[in-house]
Amino acid sequence: MSRLPPHLLRLTDGLPSDKRPEIEEAIATSPYLQQRMNQAIEAGQLRHIRLTPPGVNEGGHYDSPKKAIYVSVDTFTKPGLEEPRKRIDVITSTLGHETGHALNAAESRKTLHFVAPQITEEIRAAGPGGSADVTPHFSLYQRAARRDEAIAEIKGWNALASRIQYTSGGIITREAMLERAAPTTNCAKLDEERLPQLARGIVLDRDMHMSDTRLPKAGAINVEPVAQCHFDQSARTLGAQGKADYRNYYGAYLIEQVGQDTAHWVRPPTVKLDMARLGLDPAQLESTGLNLGGRNLGLIDTSDGQRLITLRHADDGKKQVPDGFVVAHDRDVRDDERIPRLARFGDDTLPLRGEPAPIPTTPAALRDPGHPQHTLYETLKRHLPDYASEARLSQFTEACHTAGITSRSLATIDAKAHRRAFQPRRAGRASNSTWIRRLSHGIPACSGATRLPGHCRSAACRHRPRRLRRCRGPRTDQGPQRGDVPEASPR
């Protein structure tokens, strides 16, 4: 076995002596995997490789709080993987996939931390006896998870292709790649004649890597076809019982949030979900072991009329882990590490008449004065049109905060068609624009920029106030819509 550099060898410290050599062999024989792991280590997202306990339903997962990749210990005894080469192929693919999740962990947390408060606020705004349709928020989170899984699966494929080429003296054929990839991914399958077939739409380069070619406005060419074969067509092997597909596995986390956020209400609002649009199934959701805060959760399924469904609380249910991503076969995250939840009403029993409990120390809503980004939120609110929706304000605040823009450093709000750029002051000039694209509701299209301090340069405004004023250019939409959310994950 080729020697690994010390910083990669340290990842395997603590592994059992009979399992460690094959994991190190997987890394050493895949230059692509080494490169991606180096990136994850440099980003502070990878410190350890660990083994799962025996008997859990997973091939592997990434634990963001522990900065660790977990490989299923059952891989070493699984029927069909008795040959070391096949076993190391699966380990290589798993390590590549989970390293992909490690590299995208920060972006995944941003999406969750954006969606979770939106759901909480939607329910809270509905009030006792009201109703809240949270379908758009579920859809946004699901789209982000789908893309993240596809990107991770591409990295798992490329890691295996790199290993095959490295161990074959630089030679790799399409037939060999598909045959060895078939046990590791849902995107390569054996047909009726036992011949491996690649999923439709996937493009491979001459090294049998999934191409990084990008299409205008569509991004990497392979992301969508891989999302279809890996996420959309995933087998029902996830969750505590191994009976949920990806849509229901990820959906279970937000279902739990809704249940726990309303569990202490005396008269909770009616929560609505378009189950068919989201691909959610009550039986699959329950198979994940839902922790709903101690009582069953009633929902209105709007797929076909107004159908009441009840999801049962599992007495032994463990909280779902949205950032513990797993590979495509035999999966289920079982650790108890959690992303801190921003969207909780608190653990106190609610007062009479169903009013929500007091807000916790770190408020979920940006409009609450105690929220860490409240000042930035208020600054944007003052300088954007009055009819900017709450969802848009939250999106803008999150984007600015992520880019390191504060209420003090914000210099310019630049409006062009359906985009907004927020620029900070840097050494006397604005730089590092943060753009928000694909806006369809809540903000008008203006021409020009709004400066802090200065004057609005929109041709529709033509005024020079002493203090910043909002640009009121011609409207191109119907104003804010209830439940309005961005079309793409926040950046």
One domain for residues 326 and 423: no
Say yes or no: 420 and 292 in one domain.
no
**CA-CA distance, 289 to 243, in Å (whole number)?**
11
* Rounded-to-integer distance, Cα 251 and Cα 191, Å: 32
**What's the token pair of residue 84?**
């070391």
Least confident interval from 1-5, 184-188, 246-250, 336-340: 336-340
Domain boundary among 354, 382, 400: 354
Q: List, in sequence order, every residue forming a beta bridge with 300; answer none if it has no partner.
A: 272, 308
User: Residues 331, 394: one domain?
Assistant: no
Give the mean model confidence (pLDDT) for residues 354-364: 40
Instruction: Check whether residue 396 and residue 326 sit in a common domain.
Output: no
Nearest to 249 by CA among 344, 135, 334: 334
- Asked if residue 345 is part of any domain, the answer here is yes
Domain extent, residue 250, equals 110-137+238-354
Sign of CA dihedral 213, 230, 303, 356: negative
For residue 453, is the peptide bond before it cis, meaning its omega torsion is within 30 degrees of 0?
Answer: yes
Same domain, 386 and 339: no
Q: Is the dihedral of CA 350, 355, 356, 359 positive or negative?
A: negative
Per-residue pLDDT at 197 exceeds 60: yes
pLDDT in tens, 40-53: 999 999 999 999 98
Residues 316 and 296 in one domain: yes
Same domain, 246 and 119: yes
224 located within any domain: no
User: What is the pLDDT confidence band of residue 411, given thresholds at 50, 70 and 90?
Assistant: confident
Q: How many CB atoms are closer than 10 A to CB 23? A: 24
Residue at 443 is within a domain: yes
C-alpha distance from residue 479 to each of 139, 140, 399, 441, 474 (Å): 21, 20, 21, 6, 12
Q: Domain end: 354, 389, 404, which one? A: 354
User: Is 261 in contact with 123 (CB distance < 8 Å)?
Assistant: yes
3 state SS of 412: strand
Based on the fold, state whether residues 322 and 429 are members of the same structural domain.
no
- Contacts of residue 165, Cβ cutoff 8 Å, sequence gap at least 6: 171, 172, 207, 208
How does pLDDT run across 152-183, given as a tens digit for each residue?
Answer: 999 999 999 999 999 999 999 999 999 999 99
Q: Dihedral sign, CA of 92, 96, 97, 98? A: positive
State residue 27's pLDDT score. 97
User: What is the total count of domains within the chain?
Assistant: 2
Handedness of CA 278, 284, 289, 292 (dihedral sign): positive
377 and 321 fall within a common domain: no
Boundary of a domain, candidates 354, 374, 392: 354
pLDDT in tens, 95-121: 999 999 999 988 888 888 888 889 988
Q: 473 and 382: one domain? A: yes
Does 403 reside within a domain?
yes
305 and 453 housed in the same domain: no
Q: How far is CA 25 from CA 22, 88, 90, in A?
A: 5, 7, 12
Closest CA relative to residue 222, chosen from 171, 187, 172, 272: 187
Quick check: is 332 in a domain? yes
For residue 385, is it within any domain?
yes
More confident residue, 304 or 464: 304
Taking the model in full, what pTM does it have? Answer: 0.66
Cβ(40)–Cβ(33) under 8 Å? no
Within a domain: 196: no
- Asked if residue 243 and residue 127 are part of one domain, the reply reads yes
pLDDT confidence tier of residue 240, bands split at 50, 70 and 90: confident
